[in-house]
């Protein structure tokens, strides 16, 4: 069985894959934590809220308890490797609280992976005497944190490693993690810009705006997602939305995709509308099979390079595609790569390529007389203007809460945990906080026949669920959006007033796994109480039979799966 | 005398150049206006607040008074020429109140200039029985309005023509007009994006952001201004600000300008800072003498064109510059032109050109060993995302007020006036509203020896005053900004809370001419009262001598100038 195999792989790499879930409660702790020294590192990319996270960490550790100190590593992972840290005081926090960016500490590479890097971190933890280390970032950072926690445990270093889910791409989510810090703010900041632009289009009625939306994961990893693009589409109702996941799911070729866009343009032109707004997810091209093949081939070649050098190295298929692309895309494919050798999809002007290809097809249609409109594309990349936005109230609260939770986890020596908060669609007062072991989130990648390396279990970015509520809301309106101007402009992020509390719909519509688990536990307890010794024997019989049936069903559904981790309580 | 000549030119074109200034007061009108029919046209480009302006117009005419109607022309000037109008009801207003863009009515070309166009407008006014026509736009629109008012008067058409100063570029300002509707919102929306981007830069510390800021006037006219760029710089404190006016004033060549930027990059690199944010005013290239010569030559050639076709037509100088430019700029210079045949500076990737040229110079420096840093430019054009922003509270209030003022002016038959509000740095309750005759704002362009046409007096866009308070504030900090990261992020526009009421500093620091005039009048009245018949004769002697001296001084200062127009009152 696959699951059997996965368990074996996990067991080999991690000494304890049955750590319990942790619930943090507000009861006074038996022994207040004192003289703790905790380091914090920005490993991921810029996400609104990261400063508030540090504020939460510092406030939880330093207000009320004596002798606790927080060290911030300057310049991210590099700072950690080089033990370049500054003490973060409540005064420093006050200066950065509520602001965007990672200016407080900066960032560099987002990787702690090689043995050498692990050793450097070990040395830093020992030399600085850290009781805890909080890593802030997305799926990759938290995967690294899992391995680091295991490594330090092996090495008998007592520093507790805790991760926090951050990243505008919003893909560091799963059953336990309902949202990634920064997603709400970045999506809203981009929605404001898309809303403005769409209305600009319908005012002058002469441009097609092709807007590419930054998805943090494409600059940080190889697996793109389109959560931001989908959320922005739900907020603004553009004429078209090109999602990585949908194109991937439908296995669309470039020509088919372009044809679909051209159809909408032609349909609108027939109604006298030679304008519109098209949202393009940053990672789109990675979803197109022939393009993906080309990218894979290019990634094996040294870059930067030139067309002449690269062409002989490509297969016939990829060569044909490469030469069919406009010059500007060819050049962009041959740029220098970032540290992980992955192609920088964010540097690829996907939106311009799409506009160029659509224009090409429309020229053909015009020749045949099937298109009589005009087509003036204006291309824009929305990202850098938004990812350092001031955090929304939601992100401020969420990040601050996670910072405080991380503090409690490290102070309690809970290593190998991610700080989480759940029931996020509820008011802050109703949120539940706790820790989830990294091991519950690691997945063993499917092995392939050509595989020569041992599979490395990782936390994978979660893609947009094409069966999920958010995407289905888009399906409900997309036809109308293509034809008409259903544009909505949510306006700038408000920090007070009635709209300040609104949470983005991706987050608000999420199924709360932990909440369901809690309900389940309540039911079990009710059963147990109801059927206590002394109760009516027929009741016990009914209950027993019923539960037995349920267990058989679940066995059938799930196979021999590991049990849900149990829940323990840690206290502030 | 020049002034003599100007007066003659004006007298030939305008029947009455001595119309009084009008003050609108809140006293109940002697006869309330009823059964008025007023048209409104969006002649200018998208500016936040234009919808609120229409709301103010409709509320003033339709609430309380009977039988008044407002007609909105669909698709701007084209709608006016074709008599395509819809009635604007308070219900329609409610749907658009507080939103950006011109979606309510749309826009097309922004010109009412030829005799044929004037005749079409005359016909529309007569056929629809308009008592008034409100034109919304910038310097060009209000110039057109001046000529239209005169033309209709000549033609004995009783429709009163009134203009309203709108446009994000903020250059439709003068002694009487303190601000242009939309400037405050657009500048703040762009400042938010620049602030986010600058902080992104100082978080990752590896990119140079070259941000070109849209200046509405370059898309609408041939005279660029940099008010938006200056205001944004004051709000965000970038490392560099490249202003059209300053480069123009210093007569910098392209090489000198590039050298200045490279110096700052090199200085920062020496301090270990290979990142920064550079603001580029959209019209910058028009300020560079050799580039301007090239543009002028290109504007006489038919476009779109190709490099091969164009080169033989250029002078040796321009040919040399043209061929020294990178391909992407050459191609952009040869694009199709907009209706007025002016080169579309907004379509020229000035920011990319600057980055390219700086990179080129840094390569030279690196060869010589005088530059050891890295230089990764990221270029962005901020415009379409901002010019349809939701209006700030200031712009909403200002536009609504001007709409109401325009209603009073047309209802009173005051043709040839611009609706104005002054003392804008004060709370709304203290604003003064009124009308200023277009003739006081028209300027006769300086005649040149080669001139073959009769000069056409126009309202010219006001450039950034390099002696003014706003620019001097920038001078005070620019050295520090170049060296350090003084970045400020004003954040998103707030519609409630403490920062909602803040007015942009360009507007807040303006000298209120009308307020000064009012003070003068108060002094004169005090003099007159104090020296009334029966007062002490020596007092009269002192006052007479003193006033006589003052008049001599003013005569000396001003030459035989036209008197300041007198002020009359109209009432709602």
Q: What is the ipTM of this complex?
A: 0.87
d(CA B28, CA B32): 8
| Average of per-residue pLDDT across B329-338 | 82
Residue B264 half-sphere exposure toward CB, CA atoms < 13 A: 25
Among the partner residues B103, B389, B390, nearest to A203 by beta-carbon distance: B103
Question: Contact at 8 Å (CB) between B422 and B525?
Answer: no
With tokens 């520093």, the residue in question is: A159
Q: Is A117 left (phi over 0), alpha (psi -120 to 50) or beta?
A: alpha
> In this structure, is the dihedral angle defined by the CA atoms of residues A387, A390, A392 and A395, taken in order, positive or negative?
positive
Quick check: B219 pLDDT over 70? Answer: no
For the residues B355-371, what does the mean pLDDT come to?
A: 95
- Cβ contact (<8 Å) for A489 and B46? no
pLDDT value at position A560? 46
Supply the CATH classification number for the domain A2-181+391-440: 3.40.50.450
Q: Say if residue B284's pLDDT is above 80.
A: yes
A192 interaction partners in chain B (CB closer than 8 Å): 389, 492
Token pair for residue B330?
């050459």
A2-181+391-440 and A184-387+465-499 agree in CATH topology: yes
Preceding omega of B304 cis (within 30 degrees of 0): yes
CB spacing of B101 vs A199 below 8 angstroms:
yes
* CA angle centred on B486, ends B352 and B254, rounded to 5°: 30
pLDDT of residue B335: 82
Number of H helices, E strands in chain A: 21, 13
> What pLDDT shows up at residue B536?
85
**pLDDT score, position B571:** 63
Structure tokens at A267: 């349909």
Question: Which of B321, B281, B280 is CA-nearest to residue B298?
Answer: B321
Q: B183-387+463-493: CATH homologous superfamily?
A: Phosphofructokinase domain (3.40.50.460)
The rounded Cα B522 to chain-centroid distance in angstroms is 31
Compare all CA atoms of chain A with the CA of B391 and give the residue at the minimum distance: A491
Does A388 touch chain B if contact means CB atoms closer than 8 Å?
Answer: yes
pLDDT at position B477, please? 96
Residue pair B493/B192 in contact (Cβ under 8 Å)? The answer is: yes
- Residue bearing tokens 């992407």: B328
Assess whether pLDDT exceeds 70 at residue B221.
no
Distance from CA of B390 to the nearest CA of A (A): 6
DSSP A420-482: EEE-TTS-GGG-EEEEEEGGGT-BPPPP-TT--SPP--BPPPPPP-TTSHHHHHHHHHHHHHH
> Which pLDDT band holds residue B281 (cuts at 50, 70, 90)?
very high
Cβ atoms A264, A360 nearer than 8 A: no
Burial of B479 (0-12, 13-18, 19+ CB in 10 A): exposed
Q: Answer with the residue of higher pLDDT: B10 or B217.
A: B10
User: How does pLDDT run across B99-143, given as a tens digit for each residue?
Assistant: 999 999 988 877 888 999 999 999 999 999 999 999 999 999 999
Query: What is the predicted pLDDT for the residue at B108?
Result: 81
pLDDT of residue A16: 82
Report the C-alpha gap between B411 and B418 in whole angstroms.
14
Give 3-state DSSP helix, strand, coil % of chain A, rounded to 5: 50, 15, 40
Judged by average pLDDT, the poorest of B448-452, B468-472, B565-569 is B448-452
User: Minimal Cα–Cα distance from B236 to chain A, Å?
Assistant: 13
Q: Does the distance separating the beta carbons of A203 and B107 come in below 8 Å?
A: yes
Burial class (CB in 10 A: 0-12, 13-18, 19+), A8: exposed
Backbone angles phi, psi at A446, to 5 degrees: -60, 135
Q: Burial letters for A546-565: b for 16+ Cβ neighbours within 10 Å, e otherwise? A: eeeeeeeeeeeeeeeeeeeb
CATH 3.40.50.460 given to domain A184-387+465-499: yes
How far apart are the C-alpha atoms of B354 and B337, rounded to whole Å?
23
Domain borders along chain A are 2-181+391-440, 184-387+465-499
Q: Which of A219, A485, A492 to mutate to test the interface with B (most CBs of B within 10 A)?
A: A492
Residue with tokens 């930067």: A304
Under 8 Å CB-to-CB from A452, ≥6 apart: which residues? none
What gap in Å lies between CA A561 and CA A555, rounded to an integer? 8
- Would you state the pLDDT for residue B562? 44
CA distances from A406 to A512, B36, B347, B349 (A): 20, 68, 49, 46
CB contact B277 to A (< 8 Å): no
User: In chain B, count of helices (H) and strands (E)?
Assistant: 21, 13
pLDDT score at B52: 97
Residues 6 or more apart whose Cβ sits within 8 Å of residue A165: A138, A142, A172, A173, A177, A179, A180, A181, A402, A418, A420
pLDDT above 80 (res B253): yes
Omega prior to B526 cis, within 30 of 0? no
- The per-residue pLDDT for A230 is 96
Report the C-alpha gap between B373 and B269 in whole angstroms: 5
> Is there a contact between B133 and B39 (Cβ–Cβ < 8 Å)?
yes
Neighbours of B103 (CB within 10 A): 24
Cα separations in angstroms, B528 against B23, B521, B531, B542, B553: 22, 10, 5, 13, 21
pLDDT in tens, B149-188: 999 999 999 999 999 999 999 999 998 999 999 999 999 9
On whether any CB of chain B is under 8 Å from the CB of A189, the answer is yes
Top-level class of domain B21-181+391-440: alpha beta
CB pair distance less than 8 Å for B199 and A388: yes
pLDDT at residue number B2 = 53
Give the per-residue pLDDT at A517: 78
Structure token digits, residue B254: 């392209």
Distance from CA of B186 to the nearest CA of A (A): 11
Pairing of strands B432-437, B417-422: antiparallel
Residues in chain A with pLDDT values less than 70: 1-3, 28-31, 216-222, 338-342, 447-453, 512, 558-567, 571-572
Distance CA A284, CA A271 (A): 29
CA distance A517 to B292: 70
**By the CB < 8 Å criterion, does B236 face chain A?**
no
- Burial bucket for residue A528 (CB in 10 Å: 0-12, 13-18, 19+): exposed
């Amino acid at each position: 069985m696959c699951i059997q195999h996965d368990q074996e792989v996990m067991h080999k790499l991690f000494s304890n894959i049955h750590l319990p879930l942790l619930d943090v409660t507000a009861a006074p702790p038996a022994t207040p934590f004192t003289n703790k020294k905790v380091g914090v590192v920005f490993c991921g990319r810029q996400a609104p809220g990261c400063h508030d996270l540090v504020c939460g960490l510092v406030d939880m550790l330093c207000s009320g308890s004596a002798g606790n100190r927080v060290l911030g590593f300057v310049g991210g992972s590099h700072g950690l490797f080089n033990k370049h840290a500054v003490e973060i005081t409540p005064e420093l926090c006050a200066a950065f609280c509520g602001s965007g960016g990672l200016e407080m500490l900066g960032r560099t590479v987002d990787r702690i992976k090689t043995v050498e890097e692990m050793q450097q971190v070990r040395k830093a933890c020992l030399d600085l005497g850290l009781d805890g280390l909080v890593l802030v970032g997305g799926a990759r950072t938290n995967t690294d944190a899992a391995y680091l926690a295991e490594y330090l445990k092996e090495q008998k270093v007592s520093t507790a490693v805790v991760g926090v889910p951050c990243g505008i791409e919003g893909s560091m989510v799963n059953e336990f993690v309902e949202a990634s810090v920064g997603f709400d703010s970045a999506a809203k900041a981009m929605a404001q810009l898309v809303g403005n632009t769409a209305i600009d289009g319908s005012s002058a009625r002469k441009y097609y705006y092709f807007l590419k939306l930054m998805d943090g994961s494409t600059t940080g990893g190889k697996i793109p997602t389109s959560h931001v693009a989908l959320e922005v589409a739900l907020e603004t109702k553009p004429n078209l939305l090109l999602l990585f996941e949908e194109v991937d799911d439908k296995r669309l070729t470039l020509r088919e995709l372009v044809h679909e866009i051209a159809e909408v343009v032609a349909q609108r032109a027939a109604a006298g509308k030679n304008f519109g707004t098209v949202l393009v997810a940053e990672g789109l091209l990675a979803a197109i099979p022939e393009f993906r093949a080309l990218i894979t081939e290019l990634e094996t070649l040294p870059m930067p390079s030139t067309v002449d050098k690269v062409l002989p190295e490509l297969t016939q298929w990829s060569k044909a595609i490469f030469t069919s692309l406009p010059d500007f895309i060819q050049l962009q494919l041959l740029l220098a790569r970032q540290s992980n050798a992955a192609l920088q999809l964010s540097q690829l002007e996907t939106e311009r390529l799409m506009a160029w290809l659509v224009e090409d097809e429309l020229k053909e249609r015009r020749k045949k007389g099937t298109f009589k409109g005009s087509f003036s594309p204006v291309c824009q990349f929305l990202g850098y203007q938004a990812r350092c936005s001031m955090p929304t109230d939601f992100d401020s609260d969420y990040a601050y809460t996670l910072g405080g939770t991380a503090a409690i986890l490290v102070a309690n020596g809970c290593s190998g945990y991610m700080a989480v908060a759940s029931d996020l669609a509820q008011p802050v007062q109703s949120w539940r906080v706790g820790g989830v072991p990294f091991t519950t989130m690691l997945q063993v990648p499917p092995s392939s026949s050509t595989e020569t390396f041992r599979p490395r279990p990782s936390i994978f970015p979660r893609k947009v669920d094409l069966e999920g509520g958010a995407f289905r809301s888009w399906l409900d309106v997309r036809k109308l959006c293509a034809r008409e101007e259903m544009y909505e402009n949510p306006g700038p992020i408000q920090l007070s007033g009635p709209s300040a509390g609104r949470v983005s719909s991706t987050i608000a519509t999420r199924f709360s796994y932990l909440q369901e688990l809690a309900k389940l536990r309540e039911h079990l307890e009710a059963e147990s109480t109801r059927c206590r010794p002394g109760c009516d024997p027929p009741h016990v019989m009914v209950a027993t039979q019923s539960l037995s049936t349920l267990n058989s069903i679940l066995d059938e559904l799930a196979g021999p799966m590991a049990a849900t981790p149990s829940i323990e309580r840690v206290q502030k």
